Amino acid sequence: MTKLTHRRLSPHILNRLIEGAPDESLALTDDHRRSLTARFRAVASNDHRRLDAWMVERAGLPYEPFRWSPASARRVVGNAALRRSLSEPTLTRGDAVALEVSDQLLRATSGYARPGSLASWLAQSSPSVVGLVSAEAANWATQLDEAAQELERPWSVAPSDAYYDVARARTTLRGRRDLIVPRGLTRVVLRVRAGAPGKSAGPGLRADLTIDALAEPTGLAASRVIGLWPEAGVVLSVDGTMEDLRAGARDLVRTAVAWQRHRLARAA
């Protein structure tokens, strides 16, 4: 049975959840990876699947194709800006965001941006949209930094989300992660979401836990994954137990099955 911890968000509670994380982490083995691959390959798909916690929370319901917007771009730019400001303390938050946006635009004008990427979308957007992205990203970076500054342990901004390509299954898994807190040989992963958590937030956290472990070459799982919803003042967490890792894998496979059924029903 999954143990989902639900608390009101506060610096004291957040630090207590980090300090109370298990001291030992489990690891996914090659046998676990092969078993997961076989399950995904059994769910035939003509198209490449991209699954994440959001799809798990929606039980695989069809969704509109992804489109960039200021709301979807703010986290990418905001996290990168916070990483930059930490490495260059003289930068203000606004300067760090401006430099990140400039780097994206430079990537597009230099021909290094692939179609559909953030850089490509920003290059095709109006100055007002780019300005809105910058404002949203600055707010996101500030919100993430405020949460991180309350942590009593050293932390870092995750270099990227966790990605895992399931071999020969036309499936890519993406796990959301914003902050990493090392704890000896283990780690605690924090992710931030807008709005308020729904009833399926627990399975979403489990999915992020499993994908994060799969993305690690050693398969070492985080000792705890903590979800923050600052706007709602809520924090949820799940531990890196084998039970939750397996449950996260089952949820991802079920989501692939449901997604495929919905696609076939719509095509009929």
- Mean pLDDT, the chain, rounded, equals 92
Q: What is the pLDDT of residues 66-86, one digit of tens each?
A: 899 999 999 999 999 999 999
Q: What is the pLDDT of residues 155-186, one digit of tens each?
A: 999 999 999 999 889 999 999 999 999 998 89
Q: What is the pLDDT of residue 251?
A: 96
* Domain residue ranges in the chain: 5-62+153-267, 70-149
- The class (CATH top level) of 5-62+153-267 is alpha beta
Q: What is the pLDDT of residue 197?
A: 93
- Sole residue written with tokens 């559909």: 116
Q: What is the pLDDT of residue 245?
A: 96
Least confident of 48-57, 173-182, 233-242, 255-264: 255-264
> In DSSP terms, which residues pair with 228 in a beta bridge?
192, 235
The pTM of this model reads 0.93
Question: 11, 226 in Cβ contact below 8 A?
Answer: no
By CB atoms closer than 10 A (0-12, 13-18, 19+), residue 41 is middle
By CB atoms closer than 10 A (0-12, 13-18, 19+), residue 216 is middle
The token pair at 83 is: 């990483």
